[in-house]
Structures are given as structure tokens and as C-alpha cells.
């Protein structure tokens, strides 16, 4: 891809991610092109269908989550690294506002392996962080990455339509990770 074409591609992806976070997966393609500073024809040259654009945005976000996990693997506090990453997953899920659902529905003109590939990437990235947290006794041995991702997904789905969904997701995830007891109160009382 030529340098100017790559810049346009990247600007379109960034504008699409921003529009999806604000308006959901049905964000206007014309608005996305306008935000990216390109014409509609340029957008369609890079992304011949809405689905292809949504897939690219989703893949880009998943790759960023996995890069975040890799960066956090060096954190000297594996429990902190895991909870920080889970918060990033929650922000990712809330900002997608219907993106995953839109990709699971309808059209067959997209990548049929996208969902499985992205799920595997996220699961693998999280499993590494959970493994290190377990080794440091910062996570229970019976907790699986699937448990944690389901928890984050449930929280995200519950708040994704709220104007402050990311803040609510963070608060609820904190509650889930720390429990309902105050620090001074022993569990079980």
C-alpha cells in the first residue's frame, strides 16, 4: 500500500472506531468518511462493504488489547497486570457498542474466521496474564480466563448503552474483583 493510501486507511479506521464508540455499529459511513477527511469513494475503495470496515475496526481493537496484555506481562505485580488488562477489555467491549453483535449477524461477505480468531487471541493473551497472577497467588487457582472474560462481557453488555458506560463498567468490575466487603470487615461475617 502506498504511504498516502496507508494514511487514508489508518484515518478511516480511527474515525470508524470513534464513530462506533459514539453511535454504535450503525454509525454513518458518510460521517466516518467526513471525520477521516476522505471522500466516500476512498472509504469504499478500502472497505467495499460496511461489514469489511467493521471487521477491520474490530480486528484492530483486538490487536491493541493483545499488545496491551503483552506490555502488562512485564509488570512486577501480576495481579495488578491482570486487573488492568481486564479493565482494558471492559473499555474495549463498552466502546464497541454493538460491533460484535453486528459482525455475528447477516452478511456472508466478510471473514468467516474473524470471531474465532479474535476470541482465541484475546483468550490466549488473558490466559498468560492469569497464569502469572496465579503463580504470584494473586488469583484463585479455580478461576479460568473464560470465567473472567464472561464476567467482563456481562458487565459490559449491562452498561454499553449508558452515557458513562466505561466508568460504570470499571466500577462494577472493581466490585466483582474486590468483593462487597469493606477492607476492615472479614469475609463471612
pLDDT in tens, 144-171: 999 999 999 899 889 888 888 889 999 9
Residue 101 has pLDDT above 50, yes or no: yes
CA 132, chain centre distance (Å): 21
Cα distance between residue 69 and residue 89, in whole Å: 10
Average pLDDT value for the chain = 87
- Whole-number pLDDT of residue 22: 85
- HSE, side-chain direction, 13 A CA sphere, residue 39: 3
Q: Which of 149, 134, 13 is nearest to 85 (CA)?
A: 149
Higher confidence at residue 125 or residue 21? 125
pLDDT score recorded for residue 116: 72
Q: Find where cell 471487521 sits.
A: 55
Every domain of the chain and the residues it spans:
1-48, 50-178
1-48 and 50-178 agree in CATH topology: no
Tell me the residue length of the chain.
Answer: 189
- The CATH class for the domain spanning 1-48 reads mainly alpha
What is the model's pTM?
A: 0.79
Three cell numbers at 109?
461477505
Instruction: Please name the CATH architecture into which domain 50-178 falls.
Output: Orthogonal Bundle (1.10)
* pLDDT of 52 strictly over 50: yes
pLDDT at position 111: 66
Confidence band, pLDDT 50/70/90 cuts, at residue 112: low
- Check pLDDT > 80 for residue 79: yes
CA distances from 135 to 122, 124, 129, 139, 148 (A): 20, 17, 10, 8, 17
Distance CA 97, CA 25 (A): 6
Amino acid at each position: 500500500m502506498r504511504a498516502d493510501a496507508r494514511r487514508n486507511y489508518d484515518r478511516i479506521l480511527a474515525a470508524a472506531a470513534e464513530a462506533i464508540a459514539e453511535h454504535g455499529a450503525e454509525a454513518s459511513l458518510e460521517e466516518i468518511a467526513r471525520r477521516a477527511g476522505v471522500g466516500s469513494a476512498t472509504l469504499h475503495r478500502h472497505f467495499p462493504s460496511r461489514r469489511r470496515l467493521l471487521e477491520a475496526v474490530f480486528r484492530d481493537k483486538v490487536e491493541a488489547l493483545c499488545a496491551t496484555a503483552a506490555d502488562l506481562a512485564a509488570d512486577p505485580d501480576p495481579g495488578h497486570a491482570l486487573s488492568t488488562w481486564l479493565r482494558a477489555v471492559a473499555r474495549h467491549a463498552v466502546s464497541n457498542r454493538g460491533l460484535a453483535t453486528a459482525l455475528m449477524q447477516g452478511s456472508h461477505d466478510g471473514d468467516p474466521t474473524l470471531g474465532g480468531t479474535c476470541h482465541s487471541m484475546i483468550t490466549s493473551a488473558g490466559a498468560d496474564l492469569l497464569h502469572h497472577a496465579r503463580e504470584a497467588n494473586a488469583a484463585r487457582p479455580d478461576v479460568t480466563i473464560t470465567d473472567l472474560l464472561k464476567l467482563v462481557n456481562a458487565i459490559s453488555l449491562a452498561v454499553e448503552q449508558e452515557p458513562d458506560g466505561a466508568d460504570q463498567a470499571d466500577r462494577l468490575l472493581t466490585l466483582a474483583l474486590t468483593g462487597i466487603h469493606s477492607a476492615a470487615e472479614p469475609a463471612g461475617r
